[in-house]
Structure 1
Amino acid sequence: MKKLTTLILSLLISLLSFAQSHTTEITKNAQTYYDHMTNQNFDGVLDYMYPKVFDFASRDQMKAGMEQMFSSSDMKIEFLSNDVTNVSEEKIVEDITYAAVFYNSKMKMTFLSEKDKSAEDQKAFLDFMKATMDTQFGPDNVTSDAETMSLVINMDASMFAIKDPEYDGWKFIGNDDAMKQLVDSIIPESVRTTLLEEK
């Protein structure tokens, strides 16, 4: 009986340390991925992106799209922070390992095109943009600053971590409305459903 108890205990400890190691590894890689995004290091971001994404849009196209989005003369976008809050258990399907990564992101949008307009026009524009973002993210998650003509958006989001023997290390793919069709075509429905329930 004592041997059995010891065996079960050591098995539980090894399982726990395995779970911690996959969580630690994914968190570390995800944080590097987010740091690249925060620092606008687009090559770094693309290095961590699941390569099958490039079957739908080439790496060069993705980089050009990111550069265009972050260098608009009308609006400046900055990520203030991206922090992992939770990592799900792993799920393995056909030798590919999946996990869901839940994170909190703070993004700042500064409306450069409005800077030279009258105070009245600026207020009207900022109020309109805040109302629009309130609808999407909730009023408590959007703050406006009339002095800098900016909004700060606080959002909880998720993405998938994928360890595919075809590639080196953990890769990531965002889980949002814009990526839905792509995500649905890459990640099996049973995996998506199971992992996203583990928040």
Structure 2
Amino acid sequence: MNNSKLLTTAGKASILFIVFAFSTLCFAQDSDKVAKELDSVALKMFNDVNERNYDGIMDMSYPKLFEFVPREVMVNVFKSMFEGNDEFTVDIPKLIPEYEISEVFKVEKDSAEFAFINYDLKMSMTFHDIAEEGFDEEGKEMMVDMMKMQGMEAEFVSDNTIDVIMPNRMTIMVNDKLTNGNWAMINYDTNSPLFYQILSAPILEKAKDYYQDLLIEHKKKD
């Protein structure tokens, strides 16, 4: 190969390398931007819960949820839970738990993006309807066993108050046509029939696989 061909070949290779490097840089910058955006959304979710900002929590909730449960009803449910009702009060410590955010996945057909955030949720429950007599030892054991069957770690700190750790909680963050370009949240809850009516099949399938892999990886660390 003569010098002119070598120069031409080298020139083309240099251009291709520059284009590739620039594309990779742009992709990395876009990925970094999305990662920061998701982190900001996650922090807002935790802060809204800490501040008992019910409207903020509703604003971040996936819109289709309100097709099944009116927003006002959801607000009342949260108020009843955090501020107490005749049966019990839930207290979630005002802190930001350690959390992990997945990569962003896409559903091309629906023009949807989604990601997962997982964390351990700590809370305590105080039962008011049995405040006078409290749980006896048999009742405490039954309550702890029942929560254990649901994947929770529980311990009574008094006769009517129980501390609970819900490990490997997962929230799905979705950005699609319904959210108007914003990230919205919905808890991964396979025990709720309503959950399966809100999200599309591709998101549900990926969420199931991701959560199972998450449990297996955490089991390996035990």
Tell me which interval the TM-score lies in, with the shorter structure as reference length. Answer: 0.7 to 0.9
Residue 171 (structure 1) shift: 1.0
Contact 2:105 2:113 in 1 (8 A): yes
Name whichever structure is richer in strand by fraction: 1
Q: Secondary structure at the match of 1:132?
A: helix
Q: Secondary structure at the match of 1:177?
A: coil
Distance in 1 of aligned mates of 2:117 and 2:25: 23
Contact 2:114 2:173 in 1 (8 A): yes
Residue 6 (structure 1) shift: 3.2
Contact 2:120 2:169 in 1 (8 A): yes
Q: Which residue of 2 aligns with 1:159?
A: 171
Structure 2 residue identity aligned to 1:105: L
Q: Structure 1 residues 114 and 46 mapped into 2: Cα distance closer, same or farther (>3 Å)?
A: same
Q: Which residue of 2 aligns with 1:87?
A: 102
Structure with higher Rg: it is: 2
TM-score normalised by structure 2 residue count: 0.74
Distance in 1 of aligned mates of 2:31 and 2:208: 17
Distance in 2 of aligned mates of 1:176 and 1:161: 14
Contact 2:107 2:202 in 1 (8 A): no
Aligned residue-pair number: 194
Residue 186 (structure 1) shift: 3.1
Q: Secondary structure at the match of 1:57?
A: coil
State, as a whole percentage, how many aligned pairs show the same letter: 18
The answer on 1:3 being equivalent to 2:18 is no
1:53-64 equivalences under 5 Å are 53-64=65-76
Structure 2 residue identity aligned to 1:111: F
User: Stretches of 4+ moved more than 4 A in 1?
Assistant: none
Contact 1:37 1:45 in 2 (8 A): yes
Cα deviations by residue, 1:151-199 (Å, 9 ceiling, x for unpaired): 22232122221223444421111110244x3333332222332355445
The answer on 1:130 being equivalent to 2:144 is yes
Q: Which residue of 2 aligns with 1:171?
A: 184
> Structure 2 unaligned runs (5+)?
1-12, 215-222
Distance in 1 of aligned mates of 2:33 and 2:49: 24
Q: Structure 1 residues 182 and 13 mapped into 2: Cα distance closer, same or farther (>3 Å)?
A: farther
Contact 1:144 1:150 in 2 (8 A): yes
Aligned counterpart in structure 2 of residue 72 of structure 1, from 85, 106, 116:
85
Distance in 2 of aligned mates of 1:14 and 1:192: 30
Aligned counterpart in structure 2 of residue 14 of structure 1, from 26, 29, 33:
26
Distance in 2 of aligned mates of 1:155 and 1:79: 14
Structure 2 residue identity aligned to 1:160: I
Q: Secondary structure at the match of 1:44?
A: helix
Contact 1:48 1:172 in 2 (8 A): yes
Distance in 1 of aligned mates of 2:35 and 2:204: 18
Give the CA RMSD over aligned residues: 2.6
Q: Secondary structure at the match of 2:194?
A: helix
Q: Which residue of 2 aligns with 1:40?
A: 52
Distance in 2 of aligned mates of 1:196 and 1:4: 40
Structure 1 residue identity aligned to 2:133: K
Pick 1 or 2: higher relative contact order, CA cutoff 8 A, min separation 6.
Answer: 1
Distance in 1 of aligned mates of 2:103 and 2:154: 27
Aligned counterpart in structure 2 of residue 193 of structure 1, from 205, 211, 219:
205
TM-score normalised by structure 1 residue count: 0.81
